[in-house]
Amino acid sequence: MVEPIRVMEGKAAPLKVNDVDTDQIIPAQFLKLLSRKGLGKYAFYRWRYNEDGTPKPGFILDDPRFKDAEILIAGKNFGIGSSRENAVWALLDLGIRCVIAPSFGDIFYNNAAKNGLLCIRLPEDLVERLQDRAMEGDLILRIDLEKQEISGKDIEAIRFDIEPHVKERLLKGLDDITMALLYEEEIKRYEERMPSYIIPKPSRFLHE
Amino acid sequence: MTAKTIFEKIWEAHVLKEREDGSALLYIDRHLTHEVTSPVAFETLRMTGRRVRRPELTFAFMDHNVPTGDRLQPIKDRLSAEQIKTLMRNAREFGITVFDLLSPFQGIVHVAGPELGLTLPGITLVCGDSHTSTHGALGALAFGIGTSEVAHVFATQTLWMKKPRSMEARMEGELPYGATAKDAILWMIRRIGVGGAIGHVVEYRGSAVEAMSVEERMTLCNMAIEAGARSAIVSPDEKVYDYIKDTPYAPKGEEWEEALQSWRKLPTDPGARYDKSVSFDLSRLEPQVTWGTNPGMTVSVTEEVPDPRDFDDPSERAMAERALRYMGLEPGTPITKIKVDVVFIGSCTNARLSDLIQAAKIVYGRRVAPGVRALVVPGSQLVKRKAERLGLHRIFMDAGFEWRNSGCSMCIAMNEDRLEPGQRCASTSNRNFENRQGVGGRTHLVSPIMAAAAALEGRFVDVREYELDREIPLEWEAA
Ligand code: SF4
């Protein structure tokens, strides 16, 4: 279900805001939706719409130059806060396939890897330079995950680090469950020696 | 034998497989789930023809969007109703125990789990909710997970995870008059920042933590997430065992003895090392009030709203400016001059019985200020019932508070309990993000006693002006 990523190329958009929490990426009111598709129109909702639902101009991704952006260059601590995976789905549905930032919220980072959204950490000054460059509206970046390298016109190739397991997962578009079930033996062995007190047994007087 | 932290002990006991890339397959002893992050996970199971591997280790709660009014009335919000119905259907289909809206054990998952005896020391516990770290107060290794991971745990009872780093948060000294665990954690986040614990499992220790009740420790663990932590934990002690003993799902008889024996081996060994350490002296802590739009934007009640010009870092300055604009506050305003429209005593941070008792001591015999809407939303129906046995509901209602049924309520505003645009709220919850309590709502995070006092005066007050441990009539015996 997850698309493998090897090399991607796309328009980059700057989002010069630090500490963008998942609540800003997708407000809680849209968590009630029962599916992961179609969340893009609610992404960054409160930056893009007024209370009455009319569009609020000025949000960078609504700028015609960035409408088709696939790479978001964000500020530090991107995706902190609530664990909602919907934040990743919303970005993907918006067409974002890669986020570059100085740092990420942990849960967001993990959720991204599982859903085929590439998150790249780069030093803050480099991110700021890329943001400034992207602001011009015509920055196309080529990201080679295999080589761990970002390149673009007038941009010296940038190496980035990524945890090997995150890389492998993104490269292969691996499904976690299948990977875990390769270890059925180990799971069974644990379950056999698991102390019985860990398995909850309701008291016969549950009402008290 | 090398000295180990409690986190390492639990981690090692649950690792089934380590891969060269550094990720480990962990066995999960307990999976708690709720109506908002589970539907897509169940859908994933159904789509791939999988079952829940260990339904007897899995428990479902309804909390995030449940109405807190009359439970016998139909649910007005169509999507909430839909999610609640979906959870019922899924629980039935997959054989999971669910504490539904009419259950006497319904409640916020992080309040209900521990009080039902589902949370135990030494277990791994996960829930599709970021504040799962709360359960660490009982010595469980507890992680908040995303929806794909929820599906993963359903299907395999395991989780892939890279081992987090460890962080010691030492809290020493005696909490002074009027300062609570909530103030301690707000203070810590203020000091280390909202990213200060990213990637770490925080272990709280030190004399102040040892002196705290289990419920106070839950408040600490609950909000570690707001400093970016992956989880939080406290080494268990006799207080924890007493808290669990005789709860509905606690081990009984011989199993209890066996459990105790193994739990006593859990606490961190002397000399164990951490990747990072911070320490705080709490002996001069004052009641805290947040002024901005993240929990690190906090000052003491005796201070003033800060001036963005005093921040050296330009990005922090910009954030402070933005926060003040959103909050509708002028720099230099004394905190005690800030008026409130709404007071919310609730959430998985601060809506346990001890929180309500403390707040009731302030409220007893007094009245909510005119024009203020004040609500108490107990963390669980069990908390509510215990509180009613003590007569707390009457104390709150006589004072003009609403006394509601349990749920997340105005912590996240997914049900009807929400702020109107521009309204200002003293809230015992854990997040003061923009729009969190309702679009345009302005949240100030405080302790339950600070919230109670704010309700009485219609503005923030230094709660130390009140007699905090006065005797009030409690009715337990009569019940
Ligand atoms: S009370 Fe608030 S923080 Fe706690 S689980 Fe509910 S929504 Fe999350």
Report pLDDT digits (tens) over B285-339.
999 999 999 999 999 999 999 999 999 999 999 999 999 999 999 999 999 999 9
Residue linked to tokens 């770490």: B200
User: Which of B79, B160, B167 to mutate to test binding with chain A, by most A CBs within 10 Å of its CB?
Assistant: B160
Residues 112-141 of B with CB under 8 A from A: 117-118, 120, 123, 128-130
Cα gap A19→A81, rounded to integer Å: 9
C-beta atoms of A27 and B435 within 8 A: yes
Structure tokens at B14: 């649950």
Give the model's confidence band at A208: pLDDT under 50 very low, under 70 low, under 90 confident, else very high: very low
Are B110 and B67 in the same domain? Answer: yes
C-beta atoms of B255 and A196 within 8 A: yes
Q: Quick check: is B437 in a domain?
A: yes
Are B123 and B258 in the same domain? Answer: yes
- Report CA-CA distances (Å) from A44 to A41, A91, B142, B181, B244: 9, 9, 30, 34, 42
- Report CA-CA distances (Å) from A203 to A161, A194, B114, B250: 52, 21, 15, 8
Which of B277, B306, B337 is at the close of a domain? B277
Query: Domains plus CATH for chain A?
Result: 7-195 (3.20.19.10)
- Quick check: A205 pLDDT over 80? no
- Residue range B234-282, pLDDT digits in tens: 999 999 999 999 999 999 999 999 999 999 999 999 999 999 999 999 9
Region class of B332: left (phi > 0), else alpha (psi between -120 and 50), else beta: left
| Cβ-Cβ contacts under 8 Å for B226 (sequence gap 6 or more) | B185, B189, B194, B294, B295, B296, B430, B431
User: Is the CB of residue B52 less than 8 Å away from at least one CB of chain A?
Assistant: no
Q: Quick check: is B471 in a domain?
A: no
Q: Is B131 in the pocket of ligand 1 (CB under 6 A)?
A: yes
Average pLDDT, chain B: 96
Are B111 and B184 in the same domain? Answer: yes
Low-confidence ranges of chain B (pLDDT < 70): 21, 476-479
Are B139 and B246 in the same domain? Answer: yes
- Residue range A18-34, pLDDT digits in tens: 999 999 999 988 876 66
Number of independent structural domains in chain B:
2
- The 10 Å Cβ neighbour count of residue A208 is 6
Are B353 and B271 in the same domain? Answer: no
pLDDT of residue B189: 98
Residues 174-203 of B with CB under 8 A from A: 194-195, 198-199
- Chain A residues within 8 A of B412 when measuring between CB atoms: 28
User: Which of B89, B222, B433, B439 to mutate to test binding with chain A, by most A CBs within 10 Å of its CB?
Assistant: B433
Q: Quick check: is B283 in a domain?
A: no
The residue range of the domain holding B56 is: 6-277
Measure in Å the smallest separation between the Cα of A125 and chain B Cα atoms: 13
Are B332 and B213 in the same domain? Answer: no
Q: What is the DSSP letter of A161?
A: -
pLDDT of residue A33: 67
DSSP calls for B186-200: HHHHHHH-TTTTTTE
Are B294 and B272 in the same domain? Answer: no
- pTM value? 0.84
Cα gap B407→B415, rounded to integer Å: 9
pLDDT of residue B21: 65
Are B216 and B309 in the same domain? Answer: no
- Quick check: A207 pLDDT over 60? no
User: Is the CB of residue B96 less than 8 Å away from at least one CB of chain A?
Assistant: no
Q: Is B226 in the pocket of ligand 1 (CB under 6 A)?
A: no
Which of B277, B297, B325 is at the close of a domain? B277
Measure in Å the smallest separation between the Cα of B467 and chain A Cα atoms: 34
Are B243 and B383 in the same domain? Answer: no
Closest CA to B263 of B251, B253, B272: B251
- Please state the ipTM of this predicted complex: 0.91
Q: Is B127 in the pocket of ligand 1 (CB under 6 A)?
A: no
- Quick check: A166 pLDDT over 80? yes
* Between A114 and A90, the higher pLDDT residue: A90
pLDDT of residue A1: 62
- Asked if B443 and B464 touch (Cβ cutoff 8 Å), the reply is no
pLDDT of residue B478: 45
Q: Quick check: is B474 in a domain?
A: no
C-beta atoms of B48 and A183 within 8 A: no
Structure tokens at B292: 């901005």
Atom 2 of ligand 1: nearest residue by CA position: B411
| Cβ-Cβ contacts under 8 Å for B2 (sequence gap 6 or more) | none
Which of B277, B305, B325 is at the close of a domain? B277
- Residue range A127-160, pLDDT digits in tens: 999 999 999 999 999 999 999 999 998 888 999 9
The CATH number for B407's domain is 3.30.499.10
Are B349 and B400 in the same domain? Answer: yes
Phi, psi of B349 (to 5 degrees): -85, -45
* Between B304 and A107, the higher pLDDT residue: B304
Q: Quick check: is B171 in a domain?
A: yes
Cα gap A150→A162, rounded to integer Å: 13
Are B65 and B140 in the same domain? Answer: yes
CB-closest option in A28, A165, A197 to B255: A197
Q: Quick check: is B477 in a domain?
A: no
Q: Quick check: is B317 in a domain?
A: yes
- Asked if B169 and B280 touch (Cβ cutoff 8 Å), the reply is yes
pLDDT of residue A173: 85
Q: Quick check: is B117 in a domain?
A: yes
- Asked if B183 and B451 touch (Cβ cutoff 8 Å), the reply is no
Are B220 and B346 in the same domain? Answer: no
pLDDT of residue B304: 98
